[in-house]
Chain A
Amino acid sequence: MAVPILKQSHYLIATIQAALTDADLVELRDALVARVGKFRSRGVIVDVTALDVLDSFASRTLRDIACMIRLRGAETVIVGIQPEVAFTMVQMGITLEDVPTVLDLEEGLAHLERKSRH
């Protein structure tokens, strides 16, 4: 597994460490969707700080993760998109609508806390 998934209380945290292949991304998606049920997690954080490219495939996979996790009854938040990457994404026309995105891990945890309080 290219991306380690940590379980921290009610949340799963997947921290991407280096550039991922498409297969790695799909594997991450499947693992998160499986484990969110297994651990009865309320939320998932995907940390993409280390990614220097988020192309259409990676973006679509992140969006798929968020949709599938929602169908499994939990929330997803993407954290750590780099400024250059965000700039490229919007110019490509990728906006990740409907997927919550926040600055970093700390903000991600705060976001999930707020969500689960409601």
Chain B
Amino acid sequence: MKTDSSKSNLPDKSHATIELLRELVAHLRQHRTELREEWARRITEAKLLTAMSKDEIFAEATSVYDNYVEALETGTFEALQAYARNLSERIIPRGVQTDEVVGIVLLLRDVLARSLFAKYQTDFNLLNRILDAYEPAANRIANTVAVGFVQERERIIRQQQEAIRELSTPVLPVRERLLILPIIGVIDPQRARQLTEQLLRGIRANRARVVVIDITGVAAIDSHVANHLVQTVEASRLLGATVIVTGLSPEIAQTLVNIGVDLGKMNTVGDLQGGIEEAERLLGYKVAPIQDSAHQVVVAS
């Protein structure tokens, strides 16, 4: 999102408007202490920023206030933008929501507007002109802060999605030449593609001959993903590995049959345990108890 923050002097900003803004800024500087306190009080009253302590709110309120006045004075929004992003970075991990951020900026706008009312109420004409100068700048500031917050939030979400995607597709070697791929959660086309690529690389790296794909943790799949699953099974075979799919829920079984997926190519076993047993059989292992011990070991046949 681009804001033409560097050249933000509004084209119709007349000399008179600049004069008015200067007067306004002087007023806000002069009454900094009480206006800031009034704002912090109203934030608490409105139960915004509840994740933060009173002192923290006051400290942030001071910074926002100063940045706000500065943006009004200079008409440039870069410093405010940078500050908004920095603030967002700090408060997002604490669970502060978009409506809270928008809420506090609108509260500040309100507090300042009321103070302007109080000061200029005797001169209705001047008040009007002051507000005409103040409103557009104030709106712009509110917009800048809100957009900065949302952008930062989106960036964090993207980052987390990336991380989750990486974490949620582990290819686990459990025995020589046997891989397990437990899939949990929602599979979208992008994740499905990533899963397949990771699995195929895993097969080659581990010289796997059997792969168990467990989809117990998958609630539903659509036809696109189902076809992708079939493709994964076929691609694994081209690398010389047999795939066993386990943990198909009743819903998924119904979906697969309804959309007419070619199940002939799919080797399915009820649950993960059964899948591993089948895999061991294919690899020529058999599991037997040791004579004088209750432990079980795997013996190559």
User: Which residues of the other chain, A, contact B241 by a CB distance below 8 angstroms?
Assistant: 103
Output the least CB separation between B104 and chain A (Å). 50
Question: Can you list, as one digit per residue, whether each of A75-115 has a CB less than 8 Å from chain B (1) or not (0)?
Answer: 00001011111110111000110000111100100000000
Chain A residue numbers with a CB within 8 Å of B204 are: 82-83, 103
Whole-angstrom distance between the alpha carbons of A45 and B200 in the complex? Answer: 22
Q: Note all chain B residues with C-beta closer than 8 A to A102.
A: 240
Tell me the minimal C-beta distance from B16 to chain A in angstroms: 67
Restricting to B184-201, which residues have a CB under 8 Å from any CB of A? 196-197, 200-201
CB distance from A80 to the nearest CB of B (A): 9
Cα–Cα distance between A87 and B193 once the two chains are bound (Å): 9
Contacts of A82 in B (CB 8 A): 204
CA distance A104 to B204 in the complex (A): 9
**Residues of chain A at interface, number, CB under 8 A:** 18
The residue among B204, B209, B241 with the most chain A CB atoms within 10 A of its own CB is B204
State whether A86 touches B207 (Cβ < 8 A): no
Within the assembled complex, what's the spacing in Å between the Cα atoms of A84 and B204? 11
Q: How many Å from the CB of A55 to the closest CB on chain B? A: 14
Q: Is the CB of B240 within 8 A of A95?
A: no
Check B207–A89 contact: CB distance below 8 A: no
**A89 CA / B201 CA spacing, docked (Å):** 15
The CA of A91 and the CA of B238, in the complex, are separated in Å by 13
Chain B interface, DSSP helix/strand/loop, else mixed? helix
Proximity string of chain B (224-261) to chain A, C-beta cutoff 8 Å, 1 when within and 0 when not:
00000001101111111100000000000000000000
In the complex with contacts A89-B235, A90-B234, A103-B200 CB distance below 8 A: no
Contacts of B200 in A (CB 8 A): 83-84, 86-87
- Whether A91 contacts B231 in the complex (CB less than 8 A), given A83-B200, A83-B203, A103-B204, comes out as yes
Is the CB–CB distance between A95 and B234 below 8 Å?
Answer: yes
- A87 in contact with B197 given A81-B239, A101-B237, A102-B240 (CB within 8 Å): yes
Highest count of chain B CB atoms <10 Å: which of A84, A86, A102, A104: A86
- Given the interface pairs A87-B197, A87-B200, the reply to whether A81 lies near B231 with Cβ below 8 Å is no
Roughly how many angstroms separate A91 CA and B231 CA in the complex, as a whole number?
7
| Pairwise interchain contact A90-B235, C-beta atoms closer than 8 A | yes
A83–B240 CB distance below 8 A: no
Identify which of A85, A87, A101 contacts B196 (C-beta below 8 A). A87
User: B2: shortest Cβ distance to chain A, in Å?
Assistant: 38
Chain A residue nearest in CB terms to B240:
A102
CA gap between A90 and B209 in the complex, in Å: 19
| Contacting pair B240 A107 (CB below 8 A) | yes
A30 smallest CB distance to B (angstroms):
24
Q: List 6 A-B contacts (CB under 8 A).
A: A82-B204, A85-B238, A87-B200, A90-B231, A90-B234, A96-B238
Q: Which 8 A-B pairs rank lowest in CB-CB distance, beginning with the nearest?
A: A83-B200, A102-B240, A86-B238, A103-B240, A86-B235, A90-B231, A90-B234, A90-B235
Given contacts A86-B238, A101-B238, A103-B204, 5 further A-B contacts (CB under 8 A): A83-B201, A87-B197, A90-B235, A101-B237, A103-B207
